[in-house]
A and B are shown apart, each in its own frame.
Chain A
Amino acid sequence: MTAAGPSPGERFTLELPPDPAYVSAARLFATTIAVQVGVEEESLDDLKVAIGEACARALATAEGQPLSVKAERADGRLAFEVAQGATPPGTAGDLTSTPTPQELAVGLNLELITALFDDADVVDTAQGTPAVRFSVKAGA
């Protein structure tokens, strides 16, 4: 097959309105790129979960900011970065009351991402804003 995939170091960026209706598009974006750069099929479901959770957390912490998902292939890996807002979810760690489904979900977002991807972390980007970052092994 001669059709070339994206060359190493290539970057992809998706920006969407900050609306839950668009999160499925972010998941599709991430899995499409992953397939193109040879990420193993068994990692795709984990990727969908992690991107979905990172976007959900972004919607909870960055009100009004666009959903922004970046992917970059480098050093044999495909790294994802999902922009987050500066407002930390206020309900994490509050065990005195029964959480609402929304509160529970925000608490679970990072737990799920870090369970699925060893290198997952919330980092400060060059722009000074937080982002959830994790990577998956790309194909040769």
Chain B
Amino acid sequence: MTENLTLDTKEAGDWTVVEARGEVDLYTAPRLKEQLGGLAGGGRPRIVVDLEGVEFLDSTALGVLISGLKRCREAGGDLALAAPRDPVRKVLSITGLDRVFPIHDTVAEATAGP
């Protein structure tokens, strides 16, 4: 069976970049949740989720990102989103979450912050 979602992580200074590719929906989102929770609880609470390769993202995925943001901030970090495509940006905008997450055009811009 082909993977609907692939997740890769790499470190960029204090930040961990989680590169997601494919579809993040109610079936695949638990894997992202596990990944974000592991980082936030494991001393790497500054996370950039690279959405450039994400073709589709549903409300379950939004819930996972919000709980990830909460855990990161509780641990003294943050969770930023980078390079969302237009359909993903639209979902973030409709739900008002574009005002909740720091959203950057590129990963480099996201990790350049303080």
Residue among B62, B70, B87 making CB contact with A105, cutoff 8 Å? B62
Nearest A residue (CB) for B4: A24
A112 touches B95 (CB 8 A): yes
Given the interface pairs A56-B60, A100-B63, the reply to whether A49 lies near B87 with Cβ below 8 Å is: yes
A101 within 8 A of B: yes
Number of interface residues of A (CB under 8 A): 28
The docked-state distance in angstroms from the alpha carbon of A58 to that of B53 is 28
Give Cα A103–Cα B23 distance, bound, in whole angstroms. 20
The 7 closest A-B pairs by CB, nearest first: A101-B63, A108-B59, A45-B87, A20-B27, A104-B63, A105-B59, A105-B60
Kindly state whether residue A129 has any CB partner on chain B within 8 Å: no
Total A-B residue contacts, Cβ distance less than 8 Å:
73
B97's nearest neighbour on chain A, judged by CB, is A108
Q: Hey, which bits of chain B sit against chain A, CB under 8 A?
A: 4, 23, 25-27, 29, 33, 56, 58-60, 62-64, 66-67, 70, 86-87, 90-91, 94-95
Once bound together, how far apart are the Cα atoms of A27 and B23, in whole Å? Answer: 11
**A112:B59 contact, CB within 8 angstroms:** yes
Bound-state Cα–Cα, A55 to B59, Å: 11
Interfacial chain A residues near B25, Cβ < 8 Å:
20, 23-24, 52, 56
In the complex, 15 of the A-B residue pairs with CB atoms within 8 angstroms, ordered by the A residue number, are: A21-B27, A23-B26, A48-B56, A49-B87, A56-B26, A56-B59, A98-B70, A99-B63, A100-B67, A101-B29, A101-B66, A104-B66, A105-B58, A106-B59, A112-B95
Shortest beta-carbon distance from A98 to chain B in Å: 8
In the complex, whether A115 has a CB less than 8 A from a CB of chain B is: yes
Chain A, residue nearest B29 (CB): A101
A112 lies within 8 A of B91 (CB): yes
| Residues of A near any B CB (own CB < 8 A) | 20-21, 23-24, 27, 45-46, 48-49, 52-53, 56, 59, 98-106, 108-109, 111-112, 115-116
- Whether A112 contacts B94 by the Cβ 8 Å rule is yes
Residues in chain A near residue B95, CB distance under 8 A: 108, 111-112
Shortest CB-to-CB span from B65 to chain A, Å, is: 9
Whether the Cβ atoms of B59 and A53 lie closer than 8 Å is yes
Question: Which residue of A27, A111, A112 contacts B56 across the interface (Cβ within 8 Å)?
Answer: A27
Q: Are A101 and B60 in contact (CB under 8 A)?
A: yes
Q: Which of B33, B56, B91 contacts A101 (CB 8 A)?
A: B33
A102 partner residues in chain B, CB cutoff 8 A: 60, 63
Q: How far is the CB of A56 from chain B (nearest CB, A)?
A: 5
